[in-house]
Chain A
Amino acid sequence: MAVEPKAGFPMGKATRDAFGEALREAGRTNPNIVVVDGDVNNSTRTEWFAQEFPERFINVGIAESNLVGIGAGLAASGKLPVIASFACFIMCNGYDQLRMSVAFPNLNVKVVGSHAGISIGEDGPSQMAIEDVALALGMPTFTVVVPADEPSTHKAVAAMLAAEGPAYMRVGRPDVPVVYGDDPEITLGKANQLRDGDDVTLIANGIMVAAALEAARDLADEGVEARVLDMHTVRPLDVAAVTQAARETGKIVVAEEHLVQGGLGSVVAMAVAEHAPCRMAFVGVENTYAESGDAEALLEKYGLTAAHIAAKARGLL
């Protein structure tokens, strides 16, 4: 299963695969990393770390609340825990524990939620996290990261592990197009401008970055030059890049594979409203749950494609 490559981007691995590889690689140089799993390690790809470092891997069974608490205790005793499950389960089932045991005491716990968004496809809405970024943003000490593709996920994992404090990273199930070169620069809190343009700015993260780039090419065919920002870090938000985009292009479309409220669009809108008010539009899951089905068909049905982004951009012109 894959999200089809658009606009000529080569297909890459899923961001969960990149996370699993980067985690195993980090384990080789950082003996302090401990991975805690809620019995989904072959889905989240923490199994690759587990195979190489079984003594630093704990499967607690299907018990996300306990999983989070164990992560908190490990961090309080000086370990670097990476706790991972499906995004919907660790963020929703474990939310009180994340808030109380991790966020409030500001412990150095790295939370990774896989299978985020509706692009998981056939398993359906019970497994689709569409609110996880909003929940992560609900914890004021959390850094929130949503990488776009395989190479940038590698870099984002390393950056997240190197930073102090609690962090949430969202990764996806399907293979996704590669929008970066082999060695992208990922600095948490700093947006990457992937395309320049002065007519409109498309701000996206996760799988919507590739869609935004495709939308930009379609718009260019019509003579509209769109700037594209990969906002891989939702918190801390790159307010400077947002402000500059608002001033220089005067129109912003935000696209994310998440509920339209509470995620990237909301925080970008706050920054725009405060620093450089301009017209905006939002692409995301409208107030609904999705359904089971083919990933591409779901993205089309629920409005998360390049065409939807381009249409919103045209509406602002």
Chain B
Amino acid sequence: MSVEAKMSIAELEEQARVLRRDIITCTTVAGSGHPSSSLSGVEIMAALYFGGIMRHDPAAPQWPDRDRLIMSKGHASPLLYVALAHAGYFSTDLLPTLRQIGSPLEGHPNMTRLPGVEASTGSLGQGLSIGLGHAFAARMEQRDFHVFVILGDGEQDEGQVWEAAMTAAHYKLDNVTAIVDHNKAQQTGWVRDVLDYAPLAEKWRAFQWDVQEIDGHDMATVANALARAKATAGRPSCIIAHTVKGKGVSFVEADYSYHGKSLTKEEEGRALEELGWQ
């Protein structure tokens, strides 16, 4: 994987199918984890790491001018791990060690143990502030890297997200893009039933962010939105990606109670069949 290598849309869609397969298999081997929260963000991660959006070099994970990706919804660690592994930050052989003692692929991302992980996350609400810190550092050092932060939609409940939103707008941090993986479900139910914060896009707009609302599973749309967000000048960008929790696996899509549950071996077989792997 070279810096800014760029796949075609068709290649990205195939890459997404690979990422979905590995999310399912590594969490099933682990016997726990959050596959459904990971599946909803696959197109976003594929476009970022394989679609030429992120400027990065797996051979130099601390390269000062790299773009940063912060997985604020840290429970979607399998999504981060499969993307980083296929991008070349570490071997895909590590994926089956997910959540096992001694493995750097912990239940939630640990930046001290795995190259390519930009932030240790898992307590929701914190990633955007960390992203702002990187963005301020870029401004002070006159570097042109961009910071992408993936947030969950349940995570929008956290007050710190809005503290960070205000601050980014006030300081006109146009080197930050917040991507909300709006999959409509959280741990105990649908977002609208747990804490209905609609209208979400209007909130981000009111906080003075440039807001795009998109279909988070249409690869070309996702790639174009990310490119536009990265190029937006004068204010930070927010992409509200309408997604489906458990995308690609019909029986997971239909049932929010799959949050925090890996698939059984039998379910894994059905899921891989739906994705065209068996």
Contacts and interface: CB of A to CB of B under 8 A. Distances in A.
Contacts of B112: 105-106
8 nearest CB pairs, A to B:
A73-B133, A69-B129, A77-B137, A66-B163, A63-B163, A73-B130, A74-B133, A65-B160
Contacts of A81: 133
A60 B133 CA distance: 11
B133 A70 contact: yes
Interface stretch (B13-21, B82-90, B116-124, B229-237): B116-124
Interface residues on B, range: 35 or more
A63 B122 contact: no
Given A34-B136, A66-B132, 9 more contacts: A63-B167, A73-B134, A73-B137, A76-B118, A76-B133, A100-B121, A101-B129, A105-B111, A106-B112
Interface in A41-80: 55-56, 58, 60-61, 63, 65-79
7 contacts: A60-B167, A66-B164, A70-B133, A72-B133, A73-B119, A73-B135, A79-B137
Contact of B126 (A34, A58, A69, A74): A69
A77 B131 contact: no
B167 A105 contact: no
B119 A66 contact: no
B101 interface: no
A106 B129 CA distance: 17
A101 B140 contact: no
Contacts of B126: 65, 69, 96-97, 100-101
A4 to B, nearest CB: 40
Interface of A: 34, 55-56, 58, 60-61, 63, 65-79, 81, 96-97, 99-101, 104-106
A79 B138 CA distance: 10
A71 B133 CA distance: 6
A105 B163 CA distance: 22
Interface in B97-123: 110-112, 118-123
Interface of B: 64, 68, 110-112, 118-123, 125-138, 140-141, 159-160, 163-164, 166-167, 170-171
A104 B120 CA distance: 8
Contacts of B159: 65
Contact of A77 (B138, B163, B171): B138
B121 to A, nearest CB: 7
Nearest to B159: A65
A138 to B, nearest CB: 15
A73 B111 contact: no
Given A34-B140, A76-B134, A77-B138, A105 B119 contact: yes
B136 A70 contact: yes
Contacts of A71: 133
A97 B126 CA distance: 7
Nearest to B121: A100
Given A66-B129, A69-B126, A78-B137, A97 B119 contact: no
